[in-house]
Structure 1
Amino acid sequence: MNHDADVVVAGGGPVGLMLACELALADITVVVLERLTEVDTTVKAGAINSPSAEALYRRGMLPALMEVQRPAMERFSAFLRQRQAAGASEIKAAPRFAGHFAGIMLRGDLLDESDPDFGTSGPAADLGILPQEALERLLAARAAELGVSLRRGVTVTGLDADDEGVDVHTSGGTLRTGWLVGCDGGRSTVRRLAGFPFPGTDPGITGHQAFVEMTGSEALGVGWNWTKTGTYAHGPTPGRILTVEFDGPPKDREAPVTTEELQTALRRVSGVPDVTITKVHTATRFTDHARQVPDYRSGRVLLAGDAAHVHSPFGGQGLNLGLGDAMNLGWKLAATVRGWAPEGLLDTYTAERYPLGAWVLDWTRAQVALMRPESHAQALREVIAELTGTPDATTFFVKKISGVWQRYDLPGDHPLTGRSAPDLELSDGTRLADHLHHGRALLLDLADDPELRKRADGYDGRVEVHTAACPDRPGLAALLVRPDGATAWAADTGEAPDGLDAALHRWFGAPEGTAV
């Protein structure tokens, strides 16, 4: 049966666009349907973690992203200068910021940077501040370069799935596709139409985040602040405010956020009666409902990002979790479309991503519990704050927040197996990430072993082979890196390449010229 596209992606935010780019790298025809006619400028995520930075770096996007980060850093500096000029007494030289947990600041000077989980990201380690709107624009431009069809102003209205594909009914007509992926957010239409269950916990808070202009803000505390009526944050850029109230979810999530609503919440939570919002640039309302689909796939329909899991924004994990979904799913779905995927490959998408999603839901639930304006939570918050004043606890929290701890449970005993591949500096002047721009797997031969390279015969177009030494890691002989950057197999010097053939078959199917 003829298809209008190999894959239709519902949702043209960063997750949907990242997935579309991954598919297009494998010459999969992709149509992205986005209900909005323009890029969403609503204030959302403002930073990314290590796995996200590494993923974007491995696709050659680091220079453009660093250009976006520069003005964001300048806005942070401007906020501090603005507060100092206004005579704010709390502005002083502070220890290097390393993140926060439930608003409890983590000090970079207490971080044990000798921990082996740090220092493997290469130049990607310099990327962190990245507004979601800017990332969406960059990914849209990249998708266009790769030939992705992005159709704005189109809504999904229905779907009919069968064993051969999916008919996607939209406001602009019906598309026939082999696969449909819902990347259409927490209120996903695709999830609802396909009948995915969505268990979890109900919301108990009302939160607001906005960029505004205001007077009387000198009396607001900088950073995170707890009061008897809730929690609020001010900064780290001019006009950025966040409020959290714990008296239940909003009565109407769909209603526009008004200036009066924001001002009332800010005054009530901060206890500063004279702060006045004079202009709202962008604002959003959020809750802490936490839900996750048990299986990210139902036949020919899959989910990624907020369509598969929702939670509060505390800790900034949502965008990162979605980008990780896109990286994990992209090459596996492309292999399935191309016909060389080994049996069960697509099922590993849920198996690998569900545990990380479940962790994020609990990570955000714990933060909400600590932020509550009641005596038990306050007492626990003081305990956690005291713990974070130690190097061990700071290192623990930073590793969790940054994502450097993440790994997949893959076969093999080598310490690198399942982890994000280290960005090795190679003797030919390249780095490991330079060999992942094309979106294919990489067999990196660090010991100039022709027998090792011969094992990749028959995997042309699926696995690239590169030979170079790595003076900084003389004990490492070889790595097999999946397209998403996860280490599928590794061996040290002097070890036989046991397990390499099995890893190649497990992830990349049978080599050409052999019976399936």
Structure 2
Amino acid sequence: MDASVIVVGAGPSGLMLAGELRLAGIDVIVLDRLPRRTGESRGIGFTTRTMEVFDQRGLLPRFGEIETSDHGHFGGIPLDLSVLGATHRAARTVPQSVTETVLEGWARELGADIRRGWEFLSLEDLGDSVEVRVRSTSGERVLRARYLVGCDGGRSGVRKDAGFDFPGTEATTELFLADIRGVELDPRTVAERVSGGMVMTANLGGGVHRIIVGEHGAPPQRRTEPPPFTEVADAWKRLTGIDISRAEPVWVSAFGDAARQVTEYRRGRIILAGDSAHVHLPAGGQGMNTSIQDSVNLGWKLAAVLRGTAPVPLLDTYHSERHHVGRQLLLNTRAQSLLILGGEEVRPLRGLLSELVRYEDVARHLAAKAGGLDIRYDVGGGSHPLLGMRMPHLRLTGVRATTSTALLRTGRGVLLDLEDNAHLRRRAQAWEDRIDIVTARAAPVPAGSPVEGTGAILLRPDGHVAWAAPDSHHDLPMALNRWFGRAR
């Protein structure tokens, strides 16, 4: 074997997966056909959930000072994200190029083998391993690994060569995206409907502005290269009346509103994550954020199977958990596409929804979707309100790690004993090679919090709650067996 895992694609999902695998001690090779990072930034910013994910791995300080905001939108309708009461706020204007730089540095520090200028050509699933034919400057060769993960984007070669079904809807319109210098633009951080289409701007700093423009009825084009900037400038002038033709384009791209998702996230030893598994209108930057979270869900499960501490069926939960998330993602982005790109026929719907978001329950529901905080996995029987949810940020006393988030830095599972229950800790000792058993006291929690009255919590390495006490319907050893394999 050349590696236990080969990952194709060194974008955010591939680099995040490499880091997660290395945290668990799994050797991994990441292949990318480009000789260097492009510096382009299709995604900017992080949702609240991604901020939590980066925090639990200790990555947030690597991004430096991050501009955050409680302002969001759903289909161009403004939302106040503060109704969620989350620990973190959404991050704005963090270019994807910075995200990739940070994640690549982290993965390399952990020992990931990242090879740029290596192009994926084809694959063969041999049953007990996968052979991958690649081309580099030294010619073609075949690499072999126990698993292959395609993180190679919406036009994934891995997905196509492995024969994954990719149903969905074709693009109906084309939009332009460009980062430009040498012009000052008023901020339009929410998709703004104007006569004839929609426009959006964001100040990325350093004199660079991100613009997005879409005209009603603009048919999708079969392009083999980026559109000329003159097309973007002409569309911007038609919709806003502002001439940006003298601006310097940093990079230009075109995209559509196609919505597709594979029917299965794993086929034998071939697994898909990120845009390889789902494509959609990039409303609210959810694509990159969902892709990163795919990798966090997959990494620890794939590592446990490779180490032999968990059975192969654990990988089935990657599909069952993340396919549902992807399906909900496509539903909400298609709804936002109608609100943003639809013509006069959607005006009554926008007016009604603008009224409804004044109700706190509606605002909270839509804000949770936009921020990725509505995810709850089916982790088995039980009635505790924390089950399947991501662990809320909990301040702790009596332990070196001062928060529940910090306990997850190493990427291991955690049994958090909040009542100094020696009997409970003894029941978990047979899994100490896979989980950390921590006794601590919780700082006062707000009344009504799902943590209130909880005696112990079992956390998966991705931060989701697999078991909580008291809960008479779900036994701790059963949960440990399901998520961490048989006892020693």
Using the size of structure 2 for normalisation, the TM-score is 0.92
Instruction: Indicate if the aligned counterparts of 1:23 and 1:30 stay in contact, CA closer than 8 A.
Output: yes
**How far apart, in 1, do the equivalents of 2:230 and 2:444 lie?**
58
Residue 448 of structure 2 is matched in structure 1 by none
Tell me: CA distance 1:296–1:190, structure 2 relative to 1, closer, same or farther (3 Å).
same
Residue 90 of structure 1 is matched in structure 2 by none
Q: Which amino acid aligns with 1:504?
A: L
Cα deviation for residue 472 of structure 1 reads 1.6
Q: Which amino acid aligns with 1:101?
A: F
Question: Normalized per residue, which structure has more strand?
Answer: 2
Cα deviation for residue 158 of structure 1 reads 0.9
Instruction: Indicate if the aligned counterparts of 1:223 and 1:236 stay in contact, CA closer than 8 A.
Output: no
- SS at structure 1 position matched to 2:20: helix
Instruction: Find out whether 1:245 has 2:215 as its counterpart.
Output: yes
Cα deviation for residue 105 of structure 1 reads 1.7
Residue 20 of structure 1 is matched in structure 2 by 18
- Gap runs ≥5 in structure 2: 446-451
Instruction: Find out whether 1:422 has 2:380 as its counterpart.
Output: no
Residue 194 of structure 2 is matched in structure 1 by 227
- RMSD between aligned residues: 2.1
Tell me: CA distance 1:7–1:370, structure 2 relative to 1, closer, same or farther (3 Å).
same
**How far apart, in 2, do the equivalents of 1:374 and 1:477 lie?**
54
Tell me: CA distance 1:373–1:192, structure 2 relative to 1, closer, same or farther (3 Å).
closer
Instruction: Indicate if the aligned counterparts of 2:129 and 2:146 stay in contact, CA closer than 8 A.
Output: yes
**Aligned to 1:180, which of 148, 153, 164?**
148
Matches within 5 A, 1:130-141: 130-141=94-105
Instruction: Find out whether 1:384 has 2:381 as its counterpart.
Output: no
Cα deviation for residue 471 of structure 1 reads 3.3
Cα deviation for residue 26 of structure 1 reads 1.2
Q: Which 10-residue stretch deviates more, 150-159 or 129-138?
A: 129-138
Residue 351 of structure 1 is matched in structure 2 by 320
Matches within 5 A, 1:164-175: 164-172=128-136, 173-175=141-143
**How far apart, in 1, do the equivalents of 2:300 and 2:80 lie?**
38
Residue 179 of structure 2 is matched in structure 1 by 211
Tell me: CA distance 1:234–1:125, structure 2 relative to 1, closer, same or farther (3 Å).
closer
Residue 446 of structure 1 is matched in structure 2 by 418
Tell me: CA distance 1:112–1:433, structure 2 relative to 1, closer, same or farther (3 Å).
closer
Cα deviation for residue 491 of structure 1 reads 0.9
Q: Which amino acid aligns with 2:480?
A: L
Tell me: CA distance 1:126–1:102, structure 2 relative to 1, closer, same or farther (3 Å).
closer
Residue 511 of structure 1 is matched in structure 2 by 487
Instruction: Indicate if the aligned counterparts of 1:160 and 1:166 stay in contact, CA closer than 8 A.
Output: yes
**How far apart, in 2, do the equivalents of 1:125 and 1:450 lie?**
37
- SS at structure 2 position matched to 1:22: helix
Cα deviation for residue 274 of structure 1 reads 3.7
Cα deviation for residue 215 of structure 1 reads 5.2
**How far apart, in 2, do the equivalents of 1:157 and 1:10 lie?**
11
Cα deviation for residue 306 of structure 1 reads 0.2
Tell me: CA distance 1:506–1:373, structure 2 relative to 1, closer, same or farther (3 Å).
closer
Instruction: Indicate if the aligned counterparts of 2:386 and 2:468 stay in contact, CA closer than 8 A.
Output: yes
- Gap runs ≥5 in structure 1: 74-95
Matches within 5 A, 1:317-332: 317-332=286-301
Cα deviation for residue 127 of structure 1 reads 5.0
Residue 334 of structure 1 is matched in structure 2 by 303
- SS at structure 2 position matched to 1:393: helix
Residue 78 of structure 2 is matched in structure 1 by 105
Instruction: Find out whether 1:264 has 2:234 as its counterpart.
Output: yes
Residue 478 of structure 1 is matched in structure 2 by 456
Residue 404 of structure 1 is matched in structure 2 by 373
Tell me: CA distance 1:403–1:35, structure 2 relative to 1, closer, same or farther (3 Å).
same
- SS at structure 1 position matched to 2:455: strand
**Aligned to 1:152, which of 116, 119, 122?**
116
Matches within 5 A, 1:46-61: 46-61=44-59
**Aligned to 1:499, which of 472, 475, 478?**
475
Instruction: Indicate if the aligned counterparts of 2:46 and 2:90 stay in contact, CA closer than 8 A.
Output: no
**How far apart, in 2, do the equivalents of 1:203 and 1:155 lie?**
27
**How far apart, in 1, do the equivalents of 2:183 and 2:93 lie?**
27
Q: Which 10-residue stretch deviates more, 362-371 or 222-231?
A: 222-231
Q: Which amino acid aligns with 1:452?
A: L
Tell me: CA distance 1:129–1:416, structure 2 relative to 1, closer, same or farther (3 Å).
farther
Aligned residues: 472
Cα deviation for residue 269 of structure 1 reads 2.8
- SS at structure 1 position matched to 2:43: coil
Deviations 1:270-329 (A, max 9, x none): 3x1644342101222110101000110111100000000000101211011111110110
**How far apart, in 2, do the equivalents of 1:392 and 1:496 lie?**
31
Tell me: CA distance 1:392–1:207, structure 2 relative to 1, closer, same or farther (3 Å).
same
Tell me: CA distance 1:455–1:128, structure 2 relative to 1, closer, same or farther (3 Å).
farther
Q: Which amino acid aligns with 2:55?
A: Y
Residue 69 of structure 1 is matched in structure 2 by 66
Cα deviation for residue 223 of structure 1 reads 4.7
Instruction: Indicate if the aligned counterparts of 2:236 and 2:243 stay in contact, CA closer than 8 A.
Output: no
**Aligned to 1:361, which of 306, 330, 335?**
330
**How far apart, in 1, do the equivalents of 2:235 and 2:150 lie?**
34
- SS at structure 2 position matched to 1:254: coil
**How far apart, in 2, do the equivalents of 1:391 and 1:47 lie?**
25
Instruction: Indicate if the aligned counterparts of 1:166 and 1:180 stay in contact, CA closer than 8 A.
Output: yes
**Aligned to 2:159, which of 191, 194, 215?**
191
**How far apart, in 2, do the equivalents of 1:222 and 1:318 lie?**
18
**How far apart, in 1, do the equivalents of 2:287 and 2:143 lie?**
30
Cα deviation for residue 228 of structure 1 reads 3.1
Residue 300 of structure 1 is matched in structure 2 by 269
- SS at structure 2 position matched to 1:130: strand
- SS at structure 1 position matched to 2:314: coil
**How far apart, in 1, do the equivalents of 2:242 and 2:474 lie?**
69
